[in-house]
Amino acid sequence: MRVSLNWLEELLSEGALADIPIEELTERLDMTGTGVEAVEKTGQTPEGIYIGQIKSKEPHPDSDHLWLTRVDVGEAGGEYADEDGLLQIVCGAQNFEEGDRVPVAMVGTVFPNATDDGKDFTIKKSKIRGIESFGMNCSMRELGLGDDHQGIMVLDQDAPIGVPFSDWYKAGDTVLDLEITPNRPDCLSMVGMAREFGAVFDVEPKRELEPVIELVEGDENIDDIATVVVEDPALCPRYTARVIKGVTVGPSPQWLADRVTAAGTRSVNNVVDITNFIMYELGQPLHAFDLGRLAKDGDRRAKIIVRRAHDGEQMTTLDQLDRKLGSENLLICDLEGPVALAGVMGGLTSEVEDYNIDILLEEAKFDPANVSRTSRALQLISESSLRFERGVDIDNVITALDRAAALIAQVGGGQVVAGAIDVMAAPIEKLTLPLRHELMTRIIGEDISLDTAKTYLEKLGCVVESGNDELNVTVPTYRPDLEREIDLVEEVLRLWGMENVEATLPGGRERLGGLTRTQQLRGVLDKTLRSLGLSETMTLPFSDDADLAKLSFEPDEGHQLVMLHNPMSSEQAILRPLLLPGLLNSVSLNKRRGVSDIHLFERGKAFLTKKGRKLPKEPERIAAVLSGLWNRAGWNVSSEPIDFFDAKGIITSLMDELNIDRLRMVEPQKDSLPWLQPGKAAVLMLGNAPIGWLGEIHPRVAQQFEIDDPVVAFEFDVGKTFKAAKADRDFTTPPRYPGIEMDIALVIDEDVAHSDIERRIRALGKKSALTDVDLFDIYRGKGVPQGKKSMAYRLGYRSENRTLTTEEVERIHEKVLEKLKKELGAELRS
């Protein structure tokens, strides 16, 4: 909502906002729940422009279209004035006469960003066709007050000569761009904001905030011209209409164009601008139909029918698009078909165009939920639909209609037909709520008197009656958010100032706080990664289809990507199925900025769905990217580039901290993880269930993300991992008896993984005295056949209740070798 302070000051008492600095004003609005997103200065004319009067106008001796003028600007002429105190200015405009008062730019005046290439333009002493010129008579476009640049701006005859133009015209305005919460439709109007400003800053309006309506009706009655039938009163509780005959549609007067422009809307014509003006002034959207283009019945009356659309019914809206509709859409129709989408957009067949016409003016109350569904389904979100879907004031409908009809007749020269059509489903009933002092004090934590509360609520437009230690508050219909007693407490607190409440600890006995098991494990996860030297980051949950294509990512069978219906940009059209693309973009950005050593992790949600699901799955995942060095080399510290085993060590440390001992790392199936380098990748398994992956990013993928250095990454499912975490740790007493260590060197096929060997050895150890398995050497080369490798293990043996003999250990050692020979084809290296 754009709020013009010039417009606002017209509704408030004289100088109400003049003494409030803009910083204080915006801060106070923020504290009362109305966010200020931007402050914009508009219509600021450059310094050096004064009001002048054309004293003489003569043809230029060397041109058939230029004029030689002598202009009186008072003392502002300075050194460039002639002996009569007048400025000589060559002017090319044709729309002025001697005696006219015009804005004049003095020599030295700077027009910012005035040239085609965006540079400043300075008025200089110059010669035009051999005649000296000391200034410029200005058009509206040059002053930033409109688009007209064909002629100079001719001012009222009472404009004071020699006075700075900006002091007299007061075109400058400050516009606040406010974020209005969805539950405050009353704040989507200037009258509503004047009421809010009055309550927040304790200032009075100049008058009652009811609009001035100067409605003059003709002799003809509206019942002879139009009728209205509402077939679905649940979707249209109130529908009103008036007819204005003989309206000349054309450009708006300047005051009207200025108002709608300040509100953020382009001036179209006087009829459309009046409907927009009322919408911004009162928060009540209207629509104007060309009465002559509406189908008539046998009595030559236009018949308006408010009904649901038929399934498959079509209409062409004002944006010239054909819309296919269904029974959930509400239509405004004549006898031949749809002429408007209720609360959303008018139809092309009844558009108001530029000629003398009769107008049927509509003002209604539509069901907010229905308007919201329709506008979003058709992607037709407008200033009108935003107000209808939040809820317009049903009690103010006829007021807005009369105000608009009177203004259309005023600016368009038409005649308002006598009477108004008003179809209302049920009488308007206002809600009355109690406000108990005891409740208010207990909730707020401060003793605010009922008299103070009454003052605040009355400033907001409530009717308040004092009772026995409570107030009876009748809520105005423009405040649909005030539904319960607690809502009144919130309003009192909001205006009294939440920042004025003294901070205290909440009371209560036997209230035990604490984190859930999942929250505790998240803390362990994050703390461990930070202690290992990683920095936490946060990327957007949106993804780019191009980034997924770089990874050659495809969802698992049966799953689908989650596409956004209305993305902010094409680069954010998908909800991310994994965290890696965002982290790789972070690596790329850091590398381009000169950061070579990168250790980042992120914990967040990924998104996938299946056909038929209403909502996507949102598994929580954790991912990390590592590139460069862990630390810089020093005189006593060497440094190696980060590789696969650094990331593996991080995961091992994480599992130790989470007390998980069932993690396995297995080689991925071919092409299952196409973004990882083959031979430097692993699938993370808990039991037989995969939870994630680990590996070095494929150089091809890294290059597509504009990364030249190796990157190691991992990503796994947090929820599945936490399910395997054990709350209690197992502790054993130190061994009482000595152990025996024996080495075994195996020659085995190249494709056999260490994890397969270790798992088989440990399986045997569960039934024997085998306790430790450590790989200490891998050898390929002389003495080892092609396609084979030598892997040497140190095995530890120990008994808890006696000292083992060498013969016992050797028997177990032989069983280990036999198991590996039988299951993996291993041979003892000679």
C-alpha 192/C-alpha 178 separation (Å) is 13
Query: Measuring CA to CA, which residue among 616, 623, 644, 624 is closest to residue 555?
Result: 616
Nearest alpha-carbon partner for 106 in 52, 27, 32: 52
Q: Which long-range contacts (CB under 8 A, 24 or more apart) does 685-691 make?
A: 686/660, 686/662, 686/720, 686/721, 686/724, 687/662, 687/724, 689/720, 691/716, 691/717, 691/720, 691/721
302 DSSP β-pair partners:
226, 296
- Please name the helix (run of DSSP H) or strand (run of DSSP E) that holds residue 120, with its range, or none: none
Beta strand 238-248 with 356-365: parallel, antiparallel or unpaired? antiparallel
- pLDDT at residue 207 tops 80: no
Tokens standing for residue 38: 């931007």
Q: Check: CATH 3.30.56.10 for 2-43+173-201? A: yes
pTM over 0.75: no
| Residues comprising the chain, all counted | 830
Percentage of the chain exceeding pLDDT 70? 98
Q: Which residue has the tokens 């109350």?
A: 365
Tokens of 177: 């761009």
DSSP structure string for 620-646: EEEEEEEESBSS---SS----B--HHH
DSSP state letter for 601: E
**CA separation, residue 650 to residues 21, 298, 531, 690 (Å):** 55, 85, 10, 18
Helix (H) / strand (E) containing 272 = helix 270-282
Rounded CA-CA distance 774/739 in Å is 15
SS3 468: coil
Q: How confident is the model at residue 733 (pLDDT cuts 50, 70, 90)?
A: confident
Whether the pLDDT of residue 63 is over 70: the answer is yes
What are φ and ψ of residue 383, in 5° steps?
A: -60, -35
H or E element at residue 819: helix 806-824
pLDDT band with cut points at 50, 70 and 90 for residue 636: confident
Beta bridge partners of 261: none
Name the class of domain 517-723.
alpha beta
Q: What local confidence, expressed as pLDDT, does residue 169 receive?
A: 77
Mean pLDDT score, 742-770: 87
Regarding beta strands 217-221 and 415-418, do their DSSP bridges make them parallel or antiparallel, or are they unpaired?
Answer: parallel
Dihedral sign of CA atoms 646, 647, 652, 658 in order: positive
Strands 421-424 and 542-543 come out as unpaired
Residue 171's pLDDT band (cuts 50, 70, 90) = low
Contact between residue 49 and residue 108 where contact means Cβ atoms under 8 Å apart: no
Q: Which tokens sit at 771? A: 């306790």
β strands within 43-151, DSSP E: 49-59, 67-72, 86-91, 101-105, 110-111, 121-122, 126-128, 131-133, 136-137
Look at residue 147 in the predicted model and tell me its pLDDT. Answer: 61
Eight-class DSSP state of 79: G
Chain Cα centroid distance, residue 514:
34
Distance CA 493, CA 598 (A): 48
pLDDT of 396-455, one tens digit each? 999 999 999 999 999 998 999 999 999 999 999 999 999 999 999 999 989 999 999 999
Residues 350-385 as b or e (16 or more Cβ within 10 Å = b)? bbbeeeebbbbbbbbbbbbebbbebbeebebeeebb
Paired with 288 in beta bridges are 361
Q: The domain 217-424: what is its CATH number?
A: 3.50.40.10
Upper half-sphere CA count for residue 358 (Cβ side, 13 Å): 14
pLDDT at 188 over 80: yes
C-alpha 421/C-alpha 423 separation (Å) is 7
The reported pLDDT for the residue numbered 507 is 67
Q: Scan for tokens 């071919």, then name that residue.
A: 670
Integer Cα distance of 407 and 817 in angstroms? 101
Q: Report whether pLDDT(26) > 80.
A: yes
Helix (H, G, I), strand (E, B) or coil at 292: helix
Give the separation between CA 68 and CA 315, rounded to whole angstroms.
58
Please give the single-letter amino acid code of residue 526.
Answer: D
d(CA 51, CA 64): 27
How many other C-beta atoms can be found within 10 angstroms of the C-beta atom of residue 328?
13
Backbone angles phi, psi at 697, to 5 degrees: -65, 135
pLDDT band for position 334 (50/70/90)?
A: very high
Weakest mean pLDDT among 482-496, 688-702, 755-769: 755-769
What is the average per-residue pLDDT within 787-813? 90
Q: Tell me: the pLDDT tens digits for 263-320? A: 888 888 899 999 999 999 999 999 999 999 999 998 899 999 999 999 999 999 888 8
Residue 510 banded pLDDT, cuts 50, 70, 90: low
- Across-strand partners of 2? 177
Q: Return d(Cα 601, Cα 653) in angstroms, integer.
A: 15
- Report whether CATH 1.20.1630.10 matches the domain 740-828: no
CA dist., res. 38 & res. 35, Å (int): 9
Give domain limits for the chain. 2-43+173-201, 49-168, 217-424, 431-500, 517-723, 740-828
pLDDT of 512 over the 80 cut: no
Please provide the average confidence, as pLDDT, over all residues in the chain.
90
Residue 168 has pLDDT above 90, yes or no: no
**CATH architecture of structural domain 49-168:** Beta Barrel (2.40)
**CATH assignment, 431-500:** 3.30.56.10
Query: Three-state secondary structure along 133-178?
Result: ECCEECCCCCCCCCCCCCCCCCECCCCCCCCEHHHHHCCCEEEEEE
Give residue-wise pLDDT tens across range 551-599: 999 888 878 899 988 888 888 899 999 999 999 999 999 999 999 999 9
DSSP state of 481: T
**Residues with Cβ < 8 Å from 229, sequence gap 6 or more?**
303, 304, 305, 306, 423
Instruction: List the single range of 92-106, 340-354, 592-606 with lowest mean pLDDT.
Output: 340-354
Please give the pLDDT value at position 16: 78
CA atoms of 806 and 740, how far apart (whole Å)? 8
Asked if pLDDT for residue 513 goes beyond 80, the answer is no
Q: CA–CA distance from 92 to each of 66, 115, 198, 301, 537 (Å)?
A: 5, 18, 49, 53, 62
Strand partners, 574: 543, 563
Check residue 43 and give its pLDDT.
66
CA-to-CA separations, 401 to 220, 278, 357, 478, in angstroms, rounded: 18, 9, 18, 16
CA angle in degrees (0–180, nearest 5) for 827-829-830: 125
Is 427 strand, coil or helix?
A: coil
Q: What is the mean pLDDT of residues 351-373?
A: 90
- Confidence bin at 800 (pLDDT 50/70/90): confident
2-43+173-201 with 431-500: one CATH topology? yes
Per-residue confidence (pLDDT) for residue 146, from 0 to 100: 64
Residue 746 burial (10 A CB sphere; 0-12, 13-18, 19+): buried
Provide the b/e sequence for 41-67 (b: ≥16 CB within 10 Å): ebbebbebbbbbbbeebeebeeeeebb
**pLDDT tens digits along 219-260:** 999 999 999 999 999 999 999 999 999 999 988 887 888 888
- Amino acid sitting at position 752: V
Asked if pLDDT for residue 341 goes beyond 90, the answer is yes
